[in-house]
Amino acid sequence: MISVSGLVMGLAGCRSLPPSKPSSEWTPQEARGAVVYQAKCARCHYPTTTHPLNGPGLQAITKVKAMPSGMPPTDERLTAVILSGRNMMPATRLNDDQLQDLLAYLRTL
């Protein structure tokens, strides 16, 4: 269903995206993932918009059909991008707990 505000935003050229989960509702795992994000990702990616910093903004990155590259935002694809990097994005070293926490956080965006 297209809401009126979504239609207006669409006409204005902005994509209307589902809202992020507020930090007051994060699970402990999502909160740990936010810490990982701040340490490893925030210098290049805004979490609250799709506007680019060094890389694309990641709001709703797990809710879109396709990421900027065209790849679907599955856990497998996200894991590959995070651990191996992509073009100008460097690989990030994370242990499995950090990776799972980060993926949980990305799903809140």
Task: Give the interface with ligand HEC as residue ranges (CB under 6 A).
Answer: 40-41, 43-45, 54-56, 58, 61, 67-69, 71, 78, 81-82, 86-90, 92
- In single-letter form, the type of residue at position 87 comes to N
- Taking the C-alpha atoms of residue 44 and residue 109, their distance in angstroms, rounded to an integer, is 16
Q: How far is the CB of 29 from ligand HEC (least distance, A)?
A: 15
Residue with the two structure tokens 């902005």? 14
Rank residues 8 and 76 by Cβ distance to ligand HEC and give the closer one: 76
54-80 core/surface letters (b: 16 or more CB in 10 A; e: else): ebbbbbbbbeeeebeeeeebeeeebee
32 or 56: CB nearest ligand HEC: 56
Least distance from ligand HEC to the Cβ atom of residue 55, Å: 3
Residue closer to ligand HEC by CB (options 67, 104) is 67
